Amino acid sequence: MPKDYYTILGVAKNASEEEIKKAYRKLAHEHHPDKPGGNEAKFKEINEAYQVLSDKMKRAQYDRFGSAGPAAGAGGFNGAQWGGFQGGGQPNWEGFGFDPQNFSGAGDLNDIFESIFEGFGGQPRRKTYERGSDLEVQEPITLEEVFRGAAKTLKIRTFVRCEECKGKGAEAGSSFEKCSVCDGRGEIREQRRSFFGAFSQVKTCAKCHGAGELPKHPCNVCKGSGRVESTREIKVTILPGVEDNQLIKMNGMGEAGERGTAAGDLYVRIRVRPHQVFERHGADLVVARELHALDLLLGKKVEISTIAGGKIQIEIPAGFNLRELLRIPGEGMPQIGTHRRGDLLVNFMIKAPKKPGAKAKKILEELEKEI
């Protein structure tokens, strides 16, 4: 029964070359025998369909006669001997250095497909000198610094722009000349064989990194890269109320790029140190406070420390359940982007009195009658 190559690839009969190529890539990755759950028979069928539909002449012949048309057995698709495939449209892998029963010699799957698909006419992954890398550093701060905000100066060892050549990579007054390896194209083309056959592969020129030109006289400080390794001082402003593990992004403060290209970004990760007095819960703070039973009975005011460094006097409301937290509004942490503050929550811990003497015991017994 004739095979429907369009159905095999899951595309319409009027599909464009790009649509056929995209469908083939997806299915080939999905069914490749080297992958878990791969299907060798399906993989061969997909490849057979692509070999026909990706070739204009073969596709035209297939559209006219089908896979079992008048040329079958004599150069048609079922009896064809084109492109290393023989008989019944089944591929003959001999001559490609590929054994379908043993895929261990196929190398890294991603590298194989990358080189193959570039050879099919896809755009090469051309690059110029690269943008600098992003950096991340951690900055520990205290809870008091979170409350007030802070200005920090960070010292980071990284690549910075070469001041000798201003990042150009060439000595002052030196001009640039065409790269002798790629002839100024920034890329080179080389032939490569794989189990699909021989393919032309385009690669970025390793000498000029895709720029197509090189300085006649490279800078003697950076050796032509436009950057050197050094220590950079960066000032960062930390706003009040910043959260633990929060990232502060500083555009262009990362690693300098090669040959004057853009620098990467710097990410400062804030780490708030634990506090000896306060425990933070979002914008609220929790503080523990010992409370003497007699102070409670006598209705004395209780002194509480605040994150601002001061102290406040509070009264415990009558009938207050000491197993709950007493909320003091507005004495917590600032909330970023607002003028509001969280609350201070007091966790009372009743301290048992010492064993009373006879006189004190008598007074307490009288007090018990009053209560």
- Return the pLDDT at 77: 46
Q: In what order do the strands lie in the sheet with 135-141?
A: 135-141, 266-272, 247-250
Residues 37 and 157 in one domain: no
CA distance linking residue 238 with residue 145, whole number of Å? 8
Question: Does 185 fall in a domain?
Answer: yes
**pLDDT tens by residue, 163-190:** 999 888 888 888 888 888 888 888 888 7
**pLDDT tens by residue, 197-220:** 666 777 888 888 777 888 888 999
Among 284, 285, 280, 256, smallest CA distance to 270 is for 280
Asked whether the CA dihedral 256, 257, 261, 266 is positive or negative, the reply is: negative
Question: Does 124 fall in a domain?
Answer: no
Helices 40-53 and 17-31: crossing angle in degrees, nearest 10, is 170
Residues 182 and 307 in one domain: no
Residues 182 and 90 in one domain: no
Question: Does 250 fall in a domain?
Answer: yes
CATH of the domain at 26: 1.10.287.110
Percentage, residues of the chain above pLDDT 90: 34
CA distance linking residue 190 with residue 205, whole number of Å? 11
Mean pLDDT in residue range 134-144: 95
Question: Does 117 fall in a domain?
Answer: no
Structure tokens given for 273: 């140190």
Least confident piece of the model among 127-136, 158-167, 236-245: 127-136
- Return the pLDDT at 127: 45
- Return the pLDDT at 197: 64
CA distance linking residue 87 with residue 8, whole number of Å? 19
CB 9 within 8 A of CB 50: yes
Domain extent, residue 352, equals: 278-370
pTM over 0.85: no
The helix/strand/coil state of 287 is strand
Question: How confident is residue 88, by pLDDT bands cut at 50, 70 and 90?
Answer: very low
CA distance linking residue 105 with residue 59, whole number of Å? 32
Residues 144 and 219 in one domain: yes
Among 352, 240, 342, smallest CA distance to 292 is for 352
- Return the pLDDT at 234: 94
Residues 141 and 266 in one domain: yes
Asked whether the CA dihedral 111, 113, 116, 120 is positive or negative, the reply is: negative
Question: Does 116 fall in a domain?
Answer: no
CA distance linking residue 160 with residue 176, whole number of Å? 22
Among 314, 367, 301, smallest CA distance to 343 is for 314
Question: Does 258 fall in a domain?
Answer: yes
* Count of domains for the chain: 3
